[in-house]
C-alpha cells in the first residue's frame, strides 16, 4: 500500500473536517448543521458527481463497456449481501432480520466515499472512466432486493403482508434519481454543458464536501455515544474486515472486465463501502423490525471513517497491483 496516499488522505481537509465533527459530537458540543443545509449539501454533491461522470462518459463514448460495467456492478451488489449475511450469522448473535438489514448496506454504496476516492485518484494523477458513476447508481436496488429475500425466512407468519419490497420508493429515492438524472444530463450536454456551469460544479466542490463531512462526523459521533454497549467486538470487527473483503472482490471483477487502474480502484471502493442514505431509508420501510442503531452505526461510524482514511489508499494499491 502507498502510505504516502494514506497520509495525504488522512490530513486532507475533508477528512479533518469529518474528524472535527466526530470529536465535537463525542465531546457533546452543540455544534450542528441544520437538516435543510445538510440535505442541500448532499444534493449538490450527487448532482456534481453525476454530471461530471456523464460529461466524462460523453467524451469516452456510450457503448458496450458501460453496459458491462453496469451489469458487473449490479451483480456484485446482489451477490455481496449473502456473503455479509453469512459472516454476520456465523460470527455474531444477530437474528436474521438485523443481519439481513446490515448486509443490505454492504451490498450498496456510499456516494461520499466514492467522491472522496475520485478526489484521491485526481490527486495521484490516476485516470478513471467517468462511466463508473453509472456503476454507483446501479448498486442501490439489487442489494436491497437481496436483503429482503434473506430476511423473509426470519419474519413471523403475520409479517408476510408487510414483506413486500418498497420497489417504487427505492427506485424513486431522491439520491438515485438525482445521480442517474445528472449523469444523463452530463452525457447529453457533454463538454459544452460542463463549461456553462463549471463555476458551480467545479470550484465549490471541495468546500461543500468539507461541510458535508463535518455533518457526517457529527452524526457518526452521536450514534457512537448512544450505542457503544450494543456494538460487540465481533460486530465492530465485521465493520472493519468486510470492506477490504468486498474491495478485493470488486477489484478482481474490475480486472476481469478490463477496467484501467482508476476504474478498478473505484470498483474496489464501491464494493467496499456501505450505504448510509438510500438503504437505511428503504430498511425503515421494508424491515421495520431491524435496529437502525446497529446498521446505521456500523455503516456510518465504523466503515465510513475506515474507508475514508485507510481504505481508499489500500484499494488504490490493489488496483495498481491488479493492473
CB atoms within 10 A of CB 4: 10
Grid coordinates 437538516 are at which residue? Answer: 35
Dihedral in degrees, nearest 10, Cα atoms 28, 29, 35, 40: -120
pLDDT of residue 60: 62
pTM, rounded to two decimals: 0.75
84 has pLDDT over 70: yes
8 Å CB contact between 276 and 296: yes
Average pLDDT, the chain: 83
CA distance 24 to 15: 14
pLDDT of residue 159: 46
CA 48 – CA 186 distance, rounded (Å): 10
* pLDDT attached to residue 231: 77
pLDDT over 90 (residue 91): yes
Q: Which of 42-56, 144-158, 263-277, 305-319 has the lowest mean pLDDT?
A: 144-158
d(CA 274, CA 264): 18
Predicted local distance difference test score (pLDDT) of residue 3: 54
Number of Cβ atoms within 10 Å of the Cβ of 2: 13
Average pLDDT over residues 304-321: 90
Which tens digit of pLDDT belongs to each residue from 162-216? 445 455 655 565 666 787 788 889 888 988 999 999 899 888 988 988 898 888 7
For the chain, give the percent of residues with pLDDT over 90.
33
Mean pLDDT of 120-135: 86
pLDDT confidence bin for 34, thresholds 50/70/90? very high
Give mean pLDDT, residues 233-242: 94
For residue 196, count CB atoms less than 10 angstroms from its CB and return exposed for 0-12, middle for 13-18, buried for 19 or more.
exposed
pLDDT confidence tier of residue 102, bands split at 50, 70 and 90: very high
Higher pLDDT, 115 or 317: 317
Helix, strand, coil content of the chain in percent (nearest 5):
80, 0, 20
pLDDT band with cut points at 50, 70 and 90 for residue 160: very low
Q: Note the pLDDT of residue 153.
A: 65
Give the integer Cα–Cα distance in Å for 61 and 218: 41
pLDDT tens per residue, range 173-184:
566 678 778 888
Predicted local confidence at residue 161, as pLDDT: 42
Helix 35-60 vs helix 174-201: crossing angle, to nearest 10:
80
- Would the pLDDT of 274 be above 90? yes
DSSP letter assigned to residue 161: G
pLDDT tens sequence across 138-157 = 787 788 888 888 887 655 44
Q: How many helices and strands, by DSSP H and E, does the chain display?
A: 17, 0
Residue 118 in grid coordinates: 475520485
Amino acid at each position: 500500500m502507498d502510505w504516502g496516499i494514506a497520509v495525504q488522505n488522512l490530513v486532507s481537509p475533508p477528512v479533518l473536517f469529518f474528524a472535527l465533527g466526530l470529536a465535537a459530537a463525542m465531546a457533546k458540543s452543540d455544534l450542528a448543521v441544520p437538516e435543510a443545509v445538510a440535505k442541500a449539501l448532499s444534493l449538490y454533491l450527487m448532482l456534481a458527481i453525476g454530471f461530471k461522470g456523464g460529461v466524462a462518459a460523453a467524451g469516452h463514448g456510450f457503448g458496450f463497456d458501460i453496459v458491462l460495467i453496469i451489469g458487473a456492478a449490479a451483480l456484485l451488489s446482489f451477490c455481496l449481501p449473502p456473503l455479509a449475511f453469512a459472516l454476520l450469522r456465523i460470527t455474531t448473535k444477530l437474528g436474521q432480520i438485523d443481519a439481513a438489514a446490515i448486509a443490505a448496506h454492504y451490498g450498496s454504496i456510499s456516494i461520499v466515499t466514492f467522491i472522496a476516492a475520485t478526489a484521491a485518484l485526481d490527486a495521484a494523477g490516476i485516470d478513471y472512466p467517468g462511466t463508473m458513476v453509472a456503476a454507483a447508481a446501479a448498486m442501490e436496488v439489487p442489494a436491497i432486493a437481496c436483503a429482503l429475500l434473506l430476511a423473509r425466512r426470519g419474519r413471523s407468519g403475520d409479517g408476510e403482508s408487510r414483506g413486500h419490497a418498497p420497489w417504487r420508493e427505492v427506485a424513486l429515492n431522491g439520491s438515485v434519481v438525482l445521480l442517474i438524472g445528472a449523469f444523463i444530463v452530463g452525457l447529453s450536454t457533454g463538454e459544452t454543458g460542463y463549461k456553462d456551469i463549471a463555476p458551480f460544479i467545479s470550484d465549490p466542490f471541495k468546500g461543500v464536501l468539507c461541510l458535508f463531512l463535518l455533518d457526517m462526523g457529527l452524526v457518526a459521533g452521536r450514534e457512537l455515544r448512544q450505542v457503544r454497549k450494543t456494538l460487540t467486538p465481533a460486530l465492530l470487527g465485521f465493520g472493519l474486515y468486510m470492506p477490504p473483503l468486498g474491495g478485493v472482490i470488486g477489484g478482481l471483477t474490475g480486472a476481469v472486465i478490463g477496467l484501467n487502474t482508476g476504474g478498478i480502484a473505484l470498483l474496489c471502493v464501491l464494493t467496499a463501502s456501505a450505504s448510509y442514505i438510500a438503504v437505511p431509508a428503504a430498511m425503515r420501510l421494508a424491515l421495520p423490525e431491524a435496529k437502525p442503531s446497529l446498521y446505521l452505526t456500523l455503516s456510518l461510524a465504523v466503515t465510513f471513517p475506515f474507508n475514508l482514511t485507510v481504505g481508499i489508499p489500500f484499494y488504490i494499491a490493489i488496483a495498481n497491483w491488479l493492473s
